[in-house]
């Protein structure tokens, strides 16, 4: 679980870095989407949950 949280934080930070010229709400939305994608991928493929 700590690894999942760390990966979500890293994904959110990376997404914000890629979209640094965009408005704040766009960066927030991109960060949230990136964190959700990482959480889904972590649960589905790395832990084998359905």
Tokens of 39: 């959480």
Predicted confidence (pLDDT) at residue 40 exceeds the cutoff of 70? yes
Confidence of residue 43 (pLDDT cuts 50, 70, 90): confident
Q: What is the 3-state secondary structure (H, E, C) of 21-50?
A: CCCHHHHHHHHHHHHHHHHHHHHHHHCCCC
The domain total for the chain is 1
* Residue position matching structure tokens 């939305």: 29
pLDDT band of 50, cuts 50, 70, 90: low
Gap between the Cα atoms of 13 and 34, Å rounded: 9
What distance in Å separates the CA atoms of residue 24 and residue 6, rounded to the nearest whole number?
22
Q: Find the domain containing 33 and state its range.
A: 2-46
| Whole-number pLDDT of residue 46 | 75
pLDDT at 2 (0 to 100)? 84
Q: What is the pTM of this model?
A: 0.78
């Amino acid at each position: 679980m700590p690894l999942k949280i760390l990966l979500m934080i890293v994904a959110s930070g990376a997404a914000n870095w890629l979209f640094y010229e965009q408005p704040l709400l766009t960066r927030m939305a991109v960060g949230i989407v990136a964190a959700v994608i990482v959480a889904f991928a972590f649960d589905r493929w790395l832990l084998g949950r359905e």
